[in-house]
Amino acid sequence: MFKGTVELICIAGNEGEPLRTVPEARAVEGKGLEGDRYFEGRGHWSNHPGSGREVTLVEMEAIEALKRESEMELAPEAARRNLVTRGVPLNHLVGRDFRVGEVVLRGMRLCEPCQYLEGVTRAGLSAALAHRGGLRAVVVKGGVLRTGDAIEEEG
């Protein structure tokens, strides 16, 4: 078992816009985070098949390791994930339910870095973040997510 926290909550209204941090966001089943591009169907991948675009997560530890290992600096919101976590083994949550404050999410699949992310950040990022680009999740039980919320595995 683990117990982590939400370090940052990030959203963008439209594809390609920089993500901005917010202190809280409402998570809605089947939609994602109110105010985010994927909630409105305006994200880069909105018209592509696949699940898990409701909420994306990345480990702060992965962002910090990126700087140590490759000397690439990446602001946490530039990773283009909705929740930046600390103390959470995201890769282990594929297929599992976990609680973020009052919200329950289900990990659907890994969120490997892609050429789109590299195109809006910097060359070499995809390789440097391989297998630690985060997690795609769906909202099982909605509610308000807040910076500082505890994250723990359900059951």
Question: Could you give the CA distance from residue 17 to residue 65 in angstroms, rounded to a whole number?
Answer: 25
* Domain region containing 33: 4-153
Beta strands in the chain (DSSP E): 4-11, 20-22, 24-28, 32-33, 55-59, 83-86, 97-100, 103-110, 135-141, 143-146, 150-153
Q: CA 143 from chain center: how many Å?
A: 17
The answer, yes or no, to whether residue 116 has pLDDT greater than 80, is no
- Per-residue pLDDT tens over the stretch 25-79: 999 999 999 999 888 876 655 566 666 779 999 999 988 988 887 777 778 888 8
pTM: 0.87
Q: Indicate the number of domains in the chain.
A: 1
CATH code for position 113: 2.40.33.20
